[in-house]
Copies of this chain bind each other. A is one copy, B any other.
Amino acid sequence: MLLQKIEAKKGNITESVRKISEKENVPAEKISESVAKGRTVILTHKNICWTGIGDCLHIKVNANLGTSPNVVDVDGELSKLDKACQLKTDTVMDLSTGGNLDIIREKIVQASPVPVGSVPIYQADIETVEEKGSFSHLTAEKIFRTIEKHAESGISFVTVHCGITLENLEMLKKSPRKTGVVSRGGSFIFSWMALTGKENPLYENFDRLIEIAKKYDLVLSLGDGLRPGCISDATDNLQISEVLKLGKLAGYANEEGVQVIIEGPGHVPINQIFTNVQIVKNICASAPLYLLGPLVTDIAPGYDHITSAIGAAVAGWAGADFICYVTPGEHLTLPTIDDVADGVVAAKIAAHAGDIARDMPGARKQDDLISEARFKRDWKQQEIFSINPEKFKKVRESQGIFSDDVCNMCGKYCAMKIISDMLKTPVTHF
């Protein structure tokens, strides 16, 4: 097994680094150096697709898929996968918690053209509850076996909640947090620690995780079990104490040649986002930062693709590398396929706004092309260069089309038409 970080540390530029270099128009040497330092990771998908995530590359987007205990529609999830990929998500995660989890995961891995991530603790926990009636019977053995099974079945990255410990459980009991723990995996582990009085195996036996990661070049996404679930809980002692532990583990993984990502909040007021990104980057050896949002307000369920796009754009500007989409269904329901589409596009907008702010090479090219087409009122070209041509067409036609030249908001009083005519025609001819 060729390990990306080990090769990069040796100064070997791998085939996958070359492919990413071509795709993103960033020098291969630069990417390889960043991988060696742990500032960039490379996700490998079935030897057909390599996706780089890190400080010298474009910001990437993930779309969550998967069944719930109440809604198990595997074909529906595969349709969401197609839609998310059509709208250019960079990765997907299978977060299924209902139905036959092995079969669903395998179907998604097989159908996906992009790297697939998962959260193995879900399956370990759910199977334990189903087989033995309670979380409390979960064993370290079961957790690590499940993680290895996921890696074997083609999963490229796994969320592992390594940074929460018994110490955090005591802190949590005394905490004034309004929403406690909103991480599903985090709640499983806290509950297990409370039931058994034992330390989190993912923290205590991190070495075992390192061994699995080395065997499969599995990227470890160090989960944020204590991410704030409302703006009132943001940037608190619980959140930061987890970041400190993740930093220690990230440093160790770096030494061992294992690729890691750090996961981040959550719900954060807009003026605390830079602080959050900088703390994680500083403490966690500048490992790639994977954010869920952050949502900049709690009041907008039904619109959390927007509240999270605001936060994600600012976070991208501040240095976040990887954005998990949030759909309009967040906090309310498993997303519909339309929710998935809206979520992917909102996250892509945020990522793109971040790339522009960070002055990524070529980031403005598509903006320039569509703007030039806009001034010429070339609607076909605008459609082609728009983030979702299907939506462009649908909205443009929503109230009928009255002209091939202008849109029906301003009609003949189109400012760009008036000005381009004026600039074209000598004044005396008016």
Complex Cα distance A125/B418, Å? 13
The verdict on A244 contacting chain B, using a C-beta distance below 8 Å, is no
- Of B329, B353, B371, B397, the residue contacting A395 (CB under 8 A) is B329
User: How many angstroms between the C-alpha atoms of A309 and B317 in the bound complex?
Assistant: 16
**Which of A299, A329, A423 has the most chain B CB atoms inside 10 A of its CB?**
A299
CB distance from A93 to the nearest CB of B (A): 14
Asked if B302 and A394 make an inter-chain contact with CB atoms under 8 angstroms apart, the answer reads yes
In the complex, chain B residues whose CB is within 8 Å of the CB of A364: 231-232
CB of A314 within 8 A of CB of B270, answer yes
Q: Which of A307-365 contact B (CB under 8 A)?
A: 307, 309-310, 313-314, 317, 328-334, 336, 339, 345-346, 349-350, 352-354, 356-358, 364
Task: Return A393 CB to nearest CB of chain B, in Å.
Answer: 9
Q: Considering the chains assembled together, what is the distance between the CA atoms of A419 and B238 in angstroms?
A: 15
- A140 CB within 8 Å of chain B: no
Chain B residues with CB under 8 Å of A366's CB are 299
Q: Choose one: B332, B375, B409, B415; the contact of A407 (CB below 8 Å).
A: B332
| Binary contact track A353-392/B, C-beta < 8 Å → 1, others 0 | 1101110000010111011101100000010011110011
Task: Give Cα A69 to B233, complex, Å.
Answer: 50
**Does chain B have a CB within 8 A of A290?**
no
Task: Decide if A427 is an interface residue (CB 8 Å cutoff).
Answer: yes
A251 interface residue per 8 A CB criterion:
no
What are the residues of chain B within 8 A of A330 when measuring CB–CB? 409
| Given A371-B230, A411-B98: A332 touches B396 (CB 8 Å cut-off) | yes
Complex-state Cα separation, A333 to B409, whole angstroms: 5
Q: Does A30 contact B (CB under 8 A)?
A: no
Query: Is B70 a contact of A232 with CB atoms below 8 Å?
Result: no
Interface residues of A, count at CB 8 A: 113
Chain B residues near A358 (CB-CB < 8 A): 271
Give the CA-CA distance A332 to B302 in the complex, in Å: 24
- Contact indicator A409/B299 (Cβ below 8 Å): no
Q: How far is the CA of A8 from the CA of B370 in the complex (A)?
A: 48
**Separation of A137 and B410 alpha carbons in the complex (Å):** 21
Q: Say yes or no for A182: interface residue by CB 8 A criterion.
A: yes
Residue A275 interfacial (CB < 8 Å): no
Q: Determine if B70 and A408 form an interchain contact, defined as CB atoms under 8 angstroms apart.
A: yes
Can you list 10 pairs linking A and B with CB atoms under 8 Å apart?
A70-B400, A181-B416, A190-B419, A299-B367, A299-B386, A300-B349, A300-B388, A302-B388, A329-B395, A333-B397
